[in-house]
Structure 1
Amino acid sequence: MAPSIAGLTQDEIARLSPYHYIPSQGAALAMIILWGLSTLLHTGQAIRYKTWFMLPTVVLCGVMETFGWSGRLWSFYDPVIELPYQIQITMTILAPTPLIAATFVLFGRIIGRLGPVYSRLSPRLYAIIFCSCDVISLVVQGLGGGLAASANEKDGRGPELGGNLMLGGIIFQLPNSTVVIITFSACSGEFIYRYMTRRPLGRRAAHSSLANIEDGNSGRGVLTSKLKLMLGALSLSTLLLFIRAIYRTIELFDGWNGRIISTEVYFNVLDGAMVIVAIWLLNFVHPGVFLFGEGSSSECPRSCTAGMAAGSESAWT
């Protein structure tokens, strides 16, 4: 039961709050509206364009973020109780993970359109490798978020263990992991370079040449204006999520009572704003129009869809 806050000043209430401040009502309301609208729009777009893999990835992110910010709004009215704090910290930590998984899948499909001969990884491997990293991170962060949120100092169990687990998950997966994001960026950057300079990988080029003799294809797709916009949107989205990951990592290194986690504007800008812009980018530059609308299949590889579903279930078990 929450302690009585009757007669306490705003500063005294803030000191009792697990946030170390009273969350902003206006910021929470604005983000709930933006997340709710984006999620509804993405759901409609997934149905309209039959991009079903967007449901367990992008739409799931939107639903989780909406719950997370709803927890922050609840905390505005009841700033010292633990349940809304537990909801917001768990949801906002986990939510971007399925969103970045969609980026991996979409870039794999772009490779399939422009020419796998220029890529070190096949389009299918982009989904298998990077989505698998997402699933592992989702489980680790879910476990860590739950332990951190339910920590009870009176029982001698502080949030340090959960914080360390979340930190491990954040460091492992990017936009919550430098290793994954750097690997992904290196592979995608090499692909773009090879495509633009017409330098296919030798073994893949030899394989492709035999197939192309039979079907008459050149093995090199056309980088249309729509694909350019899709690539630009994915690049900016990944950058924004990377900024958010850096902030979260520094936040946890600073500690649960540190200045960073105790400053609301950092969270609103470096977490909330980064992720909301990233998801709205995919509303405006939707793959159903800018990628699959030009003749490519919109089905998600089974490995990604099944993996994300399994990861989501594991995180809550």
Structure 2
Amino acid sequence: MSTIGLNVYSTVNNTTATQTDYQRTPYGYTPTLYVCVLFVILYSVTTTLHVLQTCWSRLWWLFPTAVLAGIAEVIGWSGRLWSSINPHAADPFLIQIVTTIIAPTPFIAANFVILGHIIKRLGPQYSRLSAKWYTFIFCSCDFVALVVQAIGGAQAAGASQNGQSSDAGGHIMLGGIVFQLVAICVYALLAVEFLLRYHYDRPFRRGARVFSSSTTDALDRGTRFMISALCMIWIYLFIRSIYRTIELSDGWTGRIITTERYFNILDGAMIVLAMFTLNLFHPGLLLGKAAQWKRINTSQAGSLEALEKQAKSSTSSL
């Protein structure tokens, strides 16, 4: 990586110098004004919807996940909008490069929480990990990725402002992105294994389901829609993570990062689609409000306690 991609050059008066200056903007291009306005509006709309849906469903964990991701994306695209007006300013470039990289991380955590609840709903016996550990492990991985990317972004920004090489910061950011990509892939594999075991009734351990047969069918319809939504969201996030990995590997002045349409489609559009998909297939609508989530947790705890007592009783009788 080179500091050229993060440096700001002064504007000159003659035409030839102006063309050279344009090529040397921090982006390698000037962000398109209407595209930036469009994404600021889209992210503002989906974030507002998430706020309203969170208050309605009382699933408060969506505030530090989906809502926080939306706010970060609005900030990032506002920085790009600022750059479209003043393409040589350093501050908006640094704002957008950091926020747009880390913004999807809390959103990914929301998907981990939802899948953990689906595991509780359908049966923990079909999951390699318990729902509690599943959520804890992958949310922890997500947090580590967030911290690593933030540290890398801050180091790259600081090095740029001091006229030093931003290579080290870029490599740290790349490490955070790769770690996040690996976590997403492992998450997907375990989710697929869980769903296949549930479908073919191949549990790791035998246990009673949380719900009675009279309510399972109605709940399963919402669960199926939620699972389909998670699959779509995973595809969007996977595409975006692959793009970001290639982009940072290519360097600050590489062809990938200096081509605007790649960023607009493979980053901006992917996260917009993921966030609106969660608006449409909201866990509060498909899996119930907070009271129902709490009831499921309580029912599962009771079922597990009964199973443990049964196992102890069987052991003592032997």
The answer for the alignment partner of 1:97 in structure 2 is 105
Select the residue among 160, 163, 188 that pairs with 2:167: 160
Deviations 1:226-276 (A, max 9, x none): 211111111110110010000000011111110000000000000000000
Select the residue among 274, 298, 310 that pairs with 2:270: 274
For structure 2, the 5+ residue unaligned runs are 1-6, 298-318
Aligned pair 1:132/2:140, yes or no? yes
Aligned pair 1:88/2:96, yes or no? yes
The answer for the alignment partner of 1:313 in structure 2 is none
CA distance in 2, matches of 1:216, 1:132: 30
The CA deviation at 1:293 is 4.5
The CA deviation at 1:225 is 2.0
Matches within 5 A, 1:38-187: 38-152=46-160, 155=163, 157-173=164-180, 177-178=181-182, 180-187=183-190
- Distance change >3 Å, CA 153–CA 86, structure 1 → 2: closer
Answer whether contact 1:42 1:59 (CA < 8 A) is retained: yes
Q: Give 3-state SS (helix, strand or coil) of 1:224's partner.
A: helix
Answer whether contact 2:128 2:194 (CA < 8 A) is retained: yes
Matches within 5 A, 1:168-247: 168-173=175-180, 177-178=181-182, 180-201=183-204, 204-205=205-206, 208=207, 221-222=216-217, 224-247=220-243
Select the residue among 7, 17, 21 that pairs with 2:13: 7
Deviations 1:99-147 (A, max 9, x none): 0000000001011111111111111112100000011111100010112
The CA deviation at 1:2 is 6.4
Answer whether contact 1:170 1:248 (CA < 8 A) is retained: yes
What count of residue pairs does the alignment treat as equivalent? 286
CA distance in 2, matches of 1:186, 1:3: 47
Aligned pair 1:256/2:252, yes or no? yes
The CA deviation at 1:199 is 1.1
RMSD over aligned Cα atoms: 2.4
Answer whether contact 1:52 1:298 (CA < 8 A) is retained: no
CA distance in 1, matches of 2:128, 2:51: 33
Deviations 1:14-36 (A, max 9, x none): 22311010011011000000000
Answer whether contact 1:113 1:221 (CA < 8 A) is retained: no
Identity, in percent, stands at 45
Query: TM-score, normalising length from structure 1?
Result: 0.84
Q: Give 3-state SS (helix, strand or coil) of 2:292's partner.
A: coil
For structure 1, the 5+ residue unaligned runs are 302-317
CA distance in 2, matches of 1:45, 1:153: 40
Answer whether contact 1:32 1:69 (CA < 8 A) is retained: yes
Structure showing greater radius of gyration is 2
AA aligned to 2:191 is S
